A and B are shown apart, each in its own frame.
Chain A
């Protein structure tokens, strides 16, 4: 097991180095940062001075190593637009993204699991067909258009929820969160629901197939033969057995949700890291884009590492392959 984890850690480290090299080449070498910063009427001397000031006159390998050394020390540079350290900007907006993702996961579990268990238990009922139709359609509706429909229905027509922005926040352990604030929650509901739809579809399918599998296991037959009430049968014996894989897979969806939050945050003007990324792309604020890419890669590497380790713990066969 330790061998397996060490090997995966080594692979992850190599992956990160390759990714940083790609980002470096893409952002700093393919186009000329000096030209971007200096403007059109800079003299050759100005350019040389700028290049020297930012170390861009050094040979490329030296530049790359400096870039890498700075990142390792947590220095991602200063935003061109905000004039502040990039890392501060990202960590300032991270709580907003994480709380929406968290609420989306809660909504996903709260709706997906009951719908999935119901479909698994009642294979022929009309409600099951309806659920399966909803999940198929849910999968087919692009995230961003769904967001627009939510705004149209709940904010424009019904006027029950605010369309965009983040409402009031409360201070929680030094973080500004909307979760513990009724008015703030109203602002969070649409973005979170938007992220949750795909999750609900996925969890319904997982819970349905899990239920169908578990219901025919010997211990379920035995429990039923023992005369355990259906409620307890489902609530205790079934739920416990299907919950572990569902929660595991949901937790591993964290990365996908953060990725899709770029879309959701842009539509709902939610001030998280996804909106920061897009705003920075529009304004060519390079240091922010580079930092986002490196951090998101790090996050995905860690999530995938966690996934591999969890699967290896659950299924010993994986370790030996």
Chain B
């Protein structure tokens, strides 16, 4: 009886979680994403100090290793940097910038890419040719190099980093949507919609979009983790966000100066957080991609 029930009854697991069943690494990644996102959102509430308020910093607390007692008697869990800034607090605030920049850049790149990809499919002809040549131009450079060159022209700033990253992201999305869209266009439901006298815009957004967007959504987590790394790299190189903005890349870059004297925690701690964040997203992204691939699913 119970066996029959187990076989026939619908799964009680939330459909969103189905891809993660039996994959402990992917579940750990999912938990990681939740923890990092929450920590970033709640940073002002949970951080021991506001690391960018000069009034709260005391130079006497400078360069303390992790677990040291600070001047006011509290313990700095992850140590402090040269100006007495608590690394834990700085990292919590830095995650906010990293996540914000990555999510906004990927969202802009996705929307622009998907819309242009759909337009290329619907219009065809020279519109398609122009959009696809622009895609070719963009994807012929590695993302970080493209962003680096754009920032050399724009100058640095949060908005400019977002723009530079989005320019690298839209092209891949446009190319993917166009590829899927072209094959969807040949199907009967599009022909039916046309015969029904529906306008181009309605066909584009009501019929084509829902059917062509899944590959873009599946690759979105990967795009976000890529954007996080790219932003950190650019900020580390000094061409990304300005020094007044907390960012993981900048924190690591500050610590770089103290590495040779053995004060590892200043750049290792923010780097470790960056890696854990990216790793969590990548593990989940890998699982989602494999789950979306029926060939791999069948092989188990």
Contact = CB atoms under 8 A, between A and B. Distances in A.
A142 B249 CA distance: 10
For B140, B252, B264, B279, the residue with the greatest tally of chain A CB atoms inside 10 Å of its CB is B140
A219 to B, nearest CB: 23
For A23, A149, A163, the residue with the greatest tally of chain B CB atoms inside 10 Å of its CB is A149
Contact of B259 (A19, A26, A27, A152): A152
Contacts of B286: 136
A277 B282 CA distance: 31
Given A156-B259, A259-B141, A300-B141, A148 B283 contact: no
Contacts of A151: 259-260
Contacts of A259: 141-142, 144-145
B148 interface: yes
A157 B264 CA distance: 10
Interface string A187-229: 0000000000000000000000000000000000000000000
Contacts of B282: 136, 139-140
A143 B279 contact: no
Contacts of A155: 260
Contacts of B229: 142
B144 A263 contact: yes
Contacts of A263: 144, 233, 236-237
B86 to A, nearest CB: 21
B140 A289 contact: no
A141 B275 contact: yes
Nearest to A293: B149
A301 interface: yes
A262 B148 contact: yes
A140 B259 contact: no
A281 interface: yes
B252 A281 contact: no
Given A151-B259, A163-B260, A262 B140 contact: no
A15 B262 contact: no
Interface string A120-156: 0000000000000000110111111100110110011
B238 interface: yes
A243 interface: no
B259 A260 contact: no
Contacts of B153: 23, 26-27, 30
A137 B267 CA distance: 19
B232 interface: yes
B278 A152 contact: no
